[in-house]
Amino acid sequence: MQADSKALSIHKNHLNNIGMYLTKEKKEEIFEKHGKGKNDTGSAEGQIALFTYRISHLTEHLKNNRKDYNTERSLVSLVGKRRNLLDYLKKKDIMRYRAIVKELGLRK
């Protein structure tokens, strides 16, 4: 049984040699910077910042793997979710919308 777990760990490490791109610490850092605190994961600003980080990562992935259609679909979905949150924030509080767009360097 021990040999199986060792083989499994080697296999996992081999597949994941670059590590996770979004660690718990990175998420906390994003929410700390853009939200009301590191545990405030529900604020629109925090969610928009997290989506933006994920979108930039997926965009870089697609530059190298242009035929990865599943990732492309996920990217389009994330962009739509971010757009909906931005539209909500624009209707709710225009000053918060302008601040987050400027802070993240978004075009619209």
CA 70/CA 23 separation, integer angstroms: 22
CA 3/CA 92 separation, integer angstroms: 57
Please tell me the predicted confidence (pLDDT) of residue 13: 44
Confirm if 84 and 94 have CB atoms less than 8 A apart.
no
Inform me whether the pLDDT recorded for 15 exceeds 80: no
Inform me whether the pLDDT recorded for 12 exceeds 60: no
Sketch out the chain's domains with CATH numbers. Answer: 22-104 (1.10.287.10)
pTM: 0.79
Give the chain's count of helices (H) and strands (E). 5, 0
CA 41/CA 98 separation, integer angstroms: 20
